[in-house]
Amino acid sequence: MVSLRERMSVQEFDNQSEKQEFLRAMCNGEVEVPFENGGMGIGITEEDLVNAVGDAGGFGVYTGAMPAGRKIFKMDPEMQNAKNLEQMNHNEINRVAADFLKRYETRIRGINFMEILPSYAATRDAALESGAFDISLVGAGMDEKLPARMAEANAELKKKEPERELYYWPIVSSALAARAYYHRFAKRGKQPDTLRPPDGYYVELPKNPLGYTAGGHLGFPKNKPINPDDFNPEAILAGIRKFDETSPVVLAGGIAYRDQIKALLDMGYSGFSMGTRFLLTQESGMPDETLKSKYLNPNIGVVLDQNSPTGYYSSRLDVPYTERTTNTIRHAIKCCVDCVGDICEYRKNVSVSENTNYCIYRELIKALLGEEYGLFFSGGQIVVMRNDDVYQNEEGLYIPYVEETVGHTFTNDSPAALAS
Ligand SMILES: Cc1cc2nc3c(=O)[nH]c(=O)nc-3n(C[C@H](O)[C@H](O)[C@H](O)COP(=O)(O)O)c2cc1C
């Protein structure tokens, strides 16, 4: 009998034709989507994690959200600016793409983008041109021009490599958002040469029916209450199936156990993606010591707040980020790389003393560098997961490798399921 893990894994391909055949079948809904890691920026789902997920039989997704973030942060303040960031992002994409292709040419790979970032379009185009990423996942904002850009990118690619294809899956939290992408294609009379419909959908539930938040930014504007009833996974899937009967739909947000995977497959989802589960691994960009002292710390809860300068809610560990003082603000502004552009509520509010926004680029990188104060995005289910035996060994707290994490996830039910 085929195990759940085998069912949700992909084999190694011997050549490009085999890989392309699999991608086509997957995006036509003929085969299920291998287990996937959610893209985590800045700097969490980099080469090590993507390759380890691939080694374990999954679909690895690299983060295209400021790929040069870690590097530019370490430069002199004068060098930390938007122009250098754009060039460095471009170089970083080319570097990792060459490495991916050299090491694992026939592996399927994705890349995750945040549309609100001013660097998005340039980074995305570098990734499309690199040939190292089969599926672009675009969230945190909607890109109206993406259906046209993807049709154009495929037309360019076909001239050089007729066999290959570039796919895209919008990251959405509602059937309405998924439909908006599809309708750009359908409304213009379905012209696949100039407009490409989505090849799949990544549904991220801001809060799942158990009440757990997804990690990071939630696709839901601030100043509105978040009600799990608005994010019923069955209803979202049914809504998507009304206009797109076949493309794969992957579910994310609060998934970390076997029973949760089985339930979403029973609902009709084509696959699943996990963020926080993969964050808690040796191969993620987050230092092991930070994972132990913060993420596995039973005294630290999760907070859903409105302090992100992007205009979205975000789910993070309830620990302090850098205090807003005259000096810290001055330094952040001096080193501003325009990461989220004109919408930045930190930059707009530097002189408002009661404002609570943080400089997101600095705080995310500080977390990544193991500093005490920073921004530690996390899914809400961390408070349950941190008790799993995979995070313990005879010496105490333990950070598992991706392979151990995947093995654990596919063979263990959630404590809630075991109790019922
Ligand atoms: C530390 C962290 C960083 C994240 N960064 C991004 C990101 O840059 N872009 C994005 O689309 N999603 C991001 N996410 C969301 C994940 O890709 C994934 O969809 C989400 O974590 C799923 O929920 P889970 O953590 O409950 O598994 C991030 C999540 C975490 C935990």
- Residue 13 domain-assigned (yes or no): yes
* Ligand 1 atom at minimal distance to the Cα of residue 61: 17
Q: How remote is the CA of residue 312 from the centroid of ligand 1, in Å?
A: 13
- Residue 18 domain-assigned (yes or no): yes
Q: How remote is the CA of residue 156 from the centroid of ligand 1, in Å?
A: 31
69, 285 in Cβ contact below 8 A?
Answer: no
Using alpha carbons, select from 33, 145, 105, 74 the residue that is nearest to residue 335.
74
- Residue 343 domain-assigned (yes or no): no
Residue 86 Cα distances to 30, 180, 243, angstroms: 39, 29, 37
Residue 218 Cα distances to 318, 330, 380, angstroms: 16, 29, 12
- Residue 262 domain-assigned (yes or no): yes
Query: Which of 276, 284, 294 for mutating ligand 1's site (highest number of atoms within 8 Å of CB)?
Result: 276
DSSP 342: G
Give residue-wise pLDDT tens across range 200-221. Answer: 999 999 999 888 999 999 977 7
**Number of compact structural domains in the chain:** 1
Q: How remote is the CA of residue 38 from the centroid of ligand 1, in Å?
A: 6
137 dihedral zone (left: phi>0; alpha: psi -120 to 50; beta)? beta
| Mean pLDDT confidence for 331-339 | 93
43 dihedral zone (left: phi>0; alpha: psi -120 to 50; beta)? left
Q: How remote is the CA of residue 203 from the centroid of ligand 1, in Å?
A: 12
Q: How remote is the CA of residue 63 from the centroid of ligand 1, in Å?
A: 10
* Ligand 1 atom at minimal distance to the Cα of residue 377: 1
Encoded tokens for 204: 């991220």
Confidence of residue 414 (pLDDT cuts 50, 70, 90): very high
Percent over 90 (pLDDT), the chain: 85
Give residue-wise pLDDT tens across range 72-115. Answer: 999 999 999 999 999 999 999 999 999 999 999 999 999 999 99
More confident residue, 416 or 93: 93
At 274 the three-state DSSP class reads strand
- Residue 20 domain-assigned (yes or no): yes
CATH number assigned to the domain comprising residue 265: 3.20.20.70
Confidence of residue 224 (pLDDT cuts 50, 70, 90): confident
pLDDT at 186 over 70: no
- Backbone dihedral angles phi then psi of residue 407, each to the nearest 5 degrees: -55, -45
| Mean pLDDT confidence for 360-367 | 96
* Ligand 1 atom at minimal distance to the Cα of residue 380: 26
* Ligand 1 atom at minimal distance to the Cα of residue 381: 26
- Residue 390 domain-assigned (yes or no): no
DSSP 220: E
Q: How remote is the CA of residue 59 from the centroid of ligand 1, in Å?
A: 15
* Ligand 1 atom at minimal distance to the Cα of residue 63: 8
Cα 104 from Cα 67, distance rounded (Å) = 20
Buried b / exposed e over 299-336, threshold 16 CB at 10 Å, is ebebebeebbbbbbbbbbbebebbebeeeebeebeebb
Using alpha carbons, select from 126, 108, 82, 139 the residue that is nearest to residue 10.
108
Using alpha carbons, select from 39, 386, 66 the residue that is nearest to residue 217.
39
* Ligand 1 atom at minimal distance to the Cα of residue 39: 17
Give residue-wise pLDDT tens across range 120-140. Answer: 999 999 999 999 999 999 998
How much is the pLDDT for 184? 74
Give residue-wise pLDDT tens across range 313-330. Answer: 999 999 999 999 999 999
Confidence of residue 9 (pLDDT cuts 50, 70, 90): very high
- Residue 371 domain-assigned (yes or no): no
Q: How remote is the CA of residue 368 from the centroid of ligand 1, in Å?
A: 15
Confidence of residue 222 (pLDDT cuts 50, 70, 90): confident
Residues with CB under 6 A from ligand 1: 38-41, 44, 63, 65, 112, 114, 139-140, 171, 204, 214-216, 252-255, 273-277, 279, 377-379, 381
How much is the pLDDT for 181? 87
- Residue 288 domain-assigned (yes or no): no
Q: How remote is the CA of residue 285 from the centroid of ligand 1, in Å?
A: 13
* Ligand 1 atom at minimal distance to the Cα of residue 274: 27
For 182-190, the CB contacts below 8 A with 24+ separation are 182/243, 182/244, 183/243, 184/144, 184/147, 185/147, 186/243
How much is the pLDDT for 189? 66
Give residue-wise pLDDT tens across range 274-284. Answer: 999 999 999 99
Query: Which of 35, 40, 405 for mutating ligand 1's site (highest number of atoms within 8 Å of CB)?
Result: 40
Range of the domain at 98: 4-281
How much is the pLDDT for 41? 93
